[in-house]
Amino acid sequence: MFSDPPSFLYRTTVAYQRKEPCELSFPAGVQVEVLEKQESGWWFVRWGNEEGWAPTYYLQRHCCLCSQNQREH
């Protein structure tokens, strides 16, 4: 059985107000979960129940969480 890739937690460094419907607005100092990384400088993130694209330069690495618990064989 395959496990999901790890998800990464980041903290927002400053507030961001979205400019497009696909982007995510957020205040400074909140924890977001990075779901997808793009080389374009935009990452797809989740904050609470909301998801959208966020500029990477507004995010600072917080820690790494495994999406699933490891199973013993």
Q: What pLDDT, in 10s, does the model give residues 17-58? A: 999 999 999 999 999 999 999 999 999 999 999 999 999 999
Q: Assign residue 47 the CATH number of its domain.
A: 2.30.30.40
Mean pLDDT of 4-12: 79
Question: At 57, is the secondary structure helix, strand, or coil?
Answer: helix
Residue 27, burial from CB neighbour count under 10 angstroms (0-12, 13-18, 19+): exposed
Strands (E), the chain: 7-12, 31-37, 42-47, 50-55, 59-65
Summarize the confidence of residues 11-21 as an average pLDDT.
Answer: 97
Domain presence at residue 73: no
Residue 30's domain comprises 7-65
71 in any annotated domain: no
- Does the pLDDT of residue 6 top 80, yes or no? no
Backbone region of residue 48 per phi and psi (left: phi > 0; alpha: psi in -120 to 50; beta: other values)? left
What pTM did the predictor assign?
0.75
What the block records as the tokens of 25 is: 């607005």
Residue 67 confidence (pLDDT) above 50? no
Angle at 25 between CA 52 and CA 43, to 5 degrees: 40
Query: How many domains, in total, are found in the chain?
Result: 1
